Amino acid sequence: MNWTPQKVVLTGMVAYVIVSVFVVMGAVDPMNTLVYEWLQPLPDRVFAYVTELGSAQVIVGLSVLGLLFWLWRGERVEAWRLVLVGVGTLLLTQVLKLVYGIDRPLIDASLDATTYSFPSGHSSGSLALYGLMAYVLYKRRESKLAIIVLVCLVLAVSLSRVILNVHYFSDVIGGWLVALTVIALSEWIIRRKMN
């Protein structure tokens, strides 16, 4: 199957709706428990630091630095896309949290865990920033090592939320789907403007 940005947007939206229905029905509880128990042996002290790489402050700050970097390289489209996707994903995630109003497994202000649970803002924000950067590098056939590091960052930040017990794994999946859809939408818009 040829995955166009339009197909990814549509698939991401449908998948998000399906996941959210399962979340609201409580059908994801066994999966959430299984993943939490599987990740529990990992050192939560380390992941308390890792999780900060997905905080709104870090995502916005790095998006602005990325904006300046891409502008310096003369790539205005990627510069503005990075900021719009990063900040836009964070805002959309906060709106969706209010729509669903699902409580977290644990409220902890020190871990930036005071709002509702679904979808995870750290997961959506990290995929929006680090994932978009990895996608751009992949598209340009640039540094494979940087792509691997960026993908590992997305996974580490996202799973840190489950390890620290401030999110369910279903929240992480929801966050990923939000960011994936926004990234694909940005690619769709860029390709349409270039044609």
**Which pLDDT value is given to residue 110?**
63
pTM to 2 decimals? 0.91
Tell me the pLDDT tens digit for each residue of 143-181. 899 999 999 999 999 999 999 888 999 999 999 999 999
CA gyration radius for the chain? 16
**Which pLDDT value is given to residue 24?**
92
Tell me the pLDDT tens digit for each residue of 11-49. 999 999 999 999 999 899 999 999 988 988 777 788 889
Question: What is the maximal distance between C-alpha atoms in the chain?
Answer: 51
Mean pLDDT on 48-57:
90
Tell me the pLDDT tens digit for each residue of 79-128. 889 999 999 999 999 999 999 988 888 776 666 667 888 999 999 999 99
Spell out the long-range contacts of 30-37 with Cβ–Cβ below 8 A and sequence spacing 24 or more.
31/169, 31/170, 32/168, 32/169, 32/170, 35/162, 35/169, 36/162, 36/165, 36/168, 36/169
